[in-house]
Amino acid sequence: MPVKSSERKIQERHRRDQLILRVARSLLAEQGVEGLSMQAIANSTEYSKGTIYQHYHCKEDVISKLVSLSGKKLVAMIDEALKQGQSLRHKIMLISAVFFMNARQQPEISSLVSMVKSPQFQSKISDENKALIAELDHAILSRIMNLFVEDTGFNCQQVKDAAFGWWSMKWGVQNVLLNDWETEKLGFNEPLEFFFRSLNVFLNGFGVADDENCQSWPQIQAQGQGIVSQFVTVTK
């Protein structure tokens, strides 16, 4: 059956959009934010700049779309970690491992997440992309908060304290990893190992039950890698 003209246009727009995003991601990886512009995307796709503007009205919108797509995949990974986790402690460990692996797999995107959340950046992007970013933030944090609600019997304040503590620890270590801090000069040769030990101390302080599946960070990493490998896509 012949493809309708309207369907063909939708398919073509989708293909064009995917190419724009692939090119933008490559430019970010090779040249950073400074090397990304609507003209650079046009030059690399052989589309006119006007065509690029039909999809995104500024480079910030392109970046926010890349971040939101990465975030959607991360949420799917988190859901898989929740399925595989044997206890509250184990689930939090697996989610943490997935965060770090995802960040290291795509540093050109993960390093921009904080920038995308800034007021200055938010003022430039479309309402649609603002909503997508906000939804993803809520999706991730709500999953962590629900863990502490369901498995501990914590009151509202304890849930917030526990969720914020984990969230801030995770962001701190992720920032160290993405920016190649020379932590060995401070005596922290393996930041993730220190995170693992610190997270155990943190969870102990909240009275979270121990779990024999959480005795080794390499073991947690291996389990996390198994989850992440399910979501690897090959970009041509």
**pLDDT for 126-140, tens place per residue?**
999 999 999 998 999
Q: How many CA atoms lie within 13 A of 26 on its CB side?
A: 13
Residue 91's CB is within 10 A of a number of other CB atoms, namely: 22
CB atoms within 10 A of CB 150: 10
Give the domain range for residue 45. 1-55
CA–CA distance, 202 with 39 (Å, rounded to integer): 48
Each residue's pLDDT tens digit, 13-48: 899 999 999 999 999 999 999 999 999 999 999 889
Q: Where do the H-state alpha helices sit in 46-155?
A: 49-55, 59-84, 88-105, 107-110, 113-116, 119-122, 127-152
Same-domain check for residues 8 and 96:
no
**Domain match, 43 and 156 both:** no
* Residue 84 and residue 187 in one domain: yes
Please state the domain count of the chain: 2
CATH of the domain at 39: 1.10.10
Give this prediction's pTM.
0.87
104 in the same domain as 24 = no
For residue 173, being part of any structural domain is answered with yes
